[in-house]
A and B are shown apart, each in its own frame.
Chain A
Amino acid sequence: MKYLRLIPSDTNFNFLKFKKIAFVFSSLIILGSLFSLLFNSLNYGIDFKGGILLELRSNNVALFNIDDLRNKVSSLNAGETSIQKFGKETDFLVRIQKQDGDEKQQIKVIENLKKLTKDNYSIRRSEFVGPVVGEELKIAGLLAVSLAMLSIMFYIWFRFEWQFSIAAIIALTHDVFSTVGLFSLLQLEFNLATIAAILTTAGYSINDTVVIFDRVRENLRRYKSKDHYFIYNKSINETLSRTVMTSVTTLIALFIIFFFGGAVLSDFSLAMIWGVFIGTFSSIFVAVSLLTFFKIHKGEKIKDESIVPEYERD
């Protein structure tokens, strides 16, 4: 039986040759994200901004009319509102900005809208986040992302050399920042689930980086006579098959969530799909490429000769 091989064995690509192109590409992504964040900002969901969200389903497909719904919502005089189809033809998301005044005002608007739409629509979901909570969640989200990145950085510092830690954290920041940038560019709703997606992406990306770094560390000790450039390239090539395999299985899972997981999960999985691509890219072209800027000691020669294949022994 012949098995599927996505990557031929014994690849010998010169990845680091593309180092410059990759840096230009990364810089463009980062700059693009930055610009988008400056000019577009983020499309904060009610989790962070406060406000009201209702998911409505029209009871009668033939009768449904987005203008009718729009009229009803605007008759509330509740300030900035948006209506958007959500998943199915009959489903709508109604977003209403946070109301002036206290929490009671918000609840009043929800109740009024419910009354208006009672006859033709069923309410599938209603959410309301007060301004206080929104602000708290924003801070908590920022804290969680920073905390995760810091703990990852310390772990890598502890397990590898400090140079690895710096390269990994830059690659990770690159991934996180570009994912946020993507959300800004496409104006996808940025909410609690997005934070979850970003952190998972971060976890995936660092996972990928660590696997390659592990191999770099091993090869640094193994090939004493070779230069760093050769070792880095070899490490990437040796792990390439695994990198691609894992990306593919994860992407299979993610695409299935994207297509079959329902509308609630679609942005969430989209962020992670992007994360897998950018995470795989950055492990090779950002993290390893950055290592070339450092002088890394090759460490102790491997004492246990037996684990080095005979033909490789000096």
Chain B
Amino acid sequence: MKKISKIKLLLVFIIVVIGFVYALPNFISKLSNSDAPNFLPGKTINLGLDLKGGSYLLLKADMDVVFIEKLENLMSDLRVSFRKNKIAYNNLKIFDNRIVFKKRNLDADKVIRELVLKTNKNLLITKENNLFQIEFSKAEKDKIVKSTMAQAIEIVRRRIDETGTNEPSIQQQGVDRIIVQLPGLKDPGRIKKLLGKTAKLTFQLAHPSIVSEELQAGDNPPPGYALLMDDKISDRFYMINKKVMVSGEMLQDASTSFDRNNSPSVSFQLSPLGGKKFGRVTGKNIGREFAIVLDGKVVSAPTIQSQIFSNGQITGNFTLEETNDLALVLRSGALPVPMTILEERSVGPGLGSDSISSGKMASILGIVAVMIFMFISYGSFGIFANIALFCNIIFIVALLSLFQATLTLPGIAGVVLTMGMAVDANVLIFERIKEEFKSGRKIFDAIESGFERAVSTIIDANLTTLFAAIALFSFGSGPVKGFSVTLMIGILTSMFTAIIITKYLVLFYVKKKDIKKIFY
């Protein structure tokens, strides 16, 4: 019988103590947290949204809109430059994310290429017979996506911060997606509404003579004009000059206020440059209608009474809530790209706390039941297995806190399941010891070889389960990922506790009591 190594024993002891220290903050209630001793690490387990309540939103940026917008700008630049250089062309249009046109000159290829690259050098030009196709190069597309997404995340963050949500998490996922997590949020409706608007605000003049009351859907606009719908009333239209006089980027501040009739409206303040522009336009166009256009729809089109500089008011048929939201999105700036919500998962605080309490209940009952079962099956050896099991739980809690992994409801189920499976290692060992003992070995030898032989089986068996958990982790989203994390941690810690801690306990016991027989 080998001697128990003191150094190893000390090491195991230290690991167990560290485990306890890291797990402890989770068991000290929030109230007394401030009184908690400073030497304790402050991190507690990070609860998932399904437990603490809150919203998860997956947003997708509609990048095609951005590309088309950029191509349109490019196309109008090209028009100007072709005209200047007397290049004749046919059918200039945007098709399938590229600009296409037919040249009419016989040999202008070189000039066309030069002119196109002059407007933007990161373009790909392909030519087939007389048909030219122009698109952004791959690198340029990536660059556009990257900068657009960075900007979009910033705007999303600003809008959410303005609502006063606690600890929001906003991250990019993949190429064109954003994950927004809002713990503790009761109703995600408002946030969804706020993120659903790009909030592109422009001031444009209305047509001087076309009366909006007479307009109908499908009316043909005169050149340079566009037929825009009213923001609220779907059968009301305006004939608006396409030229943007002042845009939302020149806005400095916006807030809710009340107009003369005491109905809610939004007051805005323009930057000095914007104010100058605004003053010039309003000064020149007194008596004309000046439309306030938000995301392509007319909010209102008041008649200019006098010259206005930097301060103005947007009135319309608003509720107070609407003006609050409008002011908020105007303050935080326009989204560079429209967002759609691909996925939403919201859990109310009631369900969250119910889940926590049923999770706690299931964990405690599960652990107690398994412990009782182990005791009646293996007696004092069962107690050792139970001590190991208890340490295992402590380690799981400690590691979850340390890595700030998220504990979800399926994650709690994972912990309970681990309890059931963790004793497997001990069962394997004990059964093996029994066999070894029966086959005529002395008690120490039986224990020694029982542990030794069971370990290779335990490792094989646990590693295969670990593979399943890793696969789950790599695929998982949200709650399922939480489950795989606790399962992985549980497998690793259970190998340590069930093999090493139990072994020392068993050896001590057998040595001290001079046991000759076991399990009978």
Where the two chains meet, the residues of A that have a C-beta atom closer than 8 Å to any C-beta of B are: 1, 3-6, 9, 55, 57, 102-104, 107, 110-111, 114, 122-130, 132-133, 137, 140-141, 143-145, 147-148, 151-152, 155-156, 159, 192-193, 195-196, 199-200, 202-204, 206-208, 210-211, 214-215, 218, 238-239, 241-242, 245-246, 248-254, 256-257, 260-262, 264-265, 268-269, 272, 307, 309-312
Contacts and interface: CB of A to CB of B under 8 A. Distances in A.
B322 interface: no
Nearest to B439: A309
Contact of A210 (B409, B423, B457, B474): B457
A137 B369 CA distance: 36
Given A152-B467, A251-B420, A253-B417, A144 B474 contact: yes
B465 A196 contact: no
B315 interface: no
Q: Which 4 A-B pairs have the closest CB atoms?
A: A144-B475, A253-B420, A148-B471, A250-B420
Contacts of A129: 342-344
Contact of A249 (B345, B423, B467): B423
A204 B462 CA distance: 9
A311 B441 CA distance: 11
Given A156-B464, A207-B462, A246-B427, A309 B440 contact: yes
A256 B361 CA distance: 9
Contacts of B344: 107, 110, 126-129
Contacts of B440: 309-311
Contacts of A1: 379
B154 to A, nearest CB: 23
A68 B218 CA distance: 43
Contact of B343 (A133, A202, A311): A133
A253 B369 contact: yes
Contact of B468 (A5, A200, A214): A200
Interface stretch (B27-35, B107-115, B261-269, B349-357): B349-357
A207 B464 contact: yes
Contacts of B424: 207, 242, 246, 249-250
B480 interface: yes
A268 to B, nearest CB: 6
B519 interface: yes
B341 A107 contact: yes
B373 interface: yes
B131 interface: no
Given A137-B477, A251-B420, A265-B362, 15 more contacts: A102-B340, A114-B187, A128-B345, A130-B341, A132-B342, A147-B475, A196-B484, A210-B460, A211-B428, A218-B453, A245-B427, A245-B431, A246-B420, A257-B417, A261-B359
Nearest to B344: A128
A192 B479 contact: yes
10 contacts: A57-B350, A114-B187, A126-B188, A133-B58, A133-B343, A155-B467, A249-B424, A254-B420, A265-B410, A312-B439
B270 to A, nearest CB: 31
A99 B21 CA distance: 51
A307 B189 CA distance: 69
Nearest to A272: B417
Contacts of B460: 159, 210-211, 214
Interface in B308-362: 340-348, 350-351, 354-355, 358-359, 361-362
A115 B227 CA distance: 33
Given A246-B427, A253-B416, A311-B439, A204 B465 contact: yes
B242 interface: no
Residue from B340, B468, B484 having most chain A Cβ neighbours under 10 A = B468
Contact of B362 (A103, A159, A202, A260): A260
A265 B413 contact: yes
A125 B475 contact: no
B370 A249 contact: yes
Contacts of A272: 417
Contacts of B194: none
Interface string B421-442: 1011001100100110011110
A111 B190 CA distance: 10
A264 B358 CA distance: 10
Contacts of B470: 148, 151
Contacts of B377: 3-6, 245
Contacts of B412: 261
Nearest to A276: B420
B221 interface: no
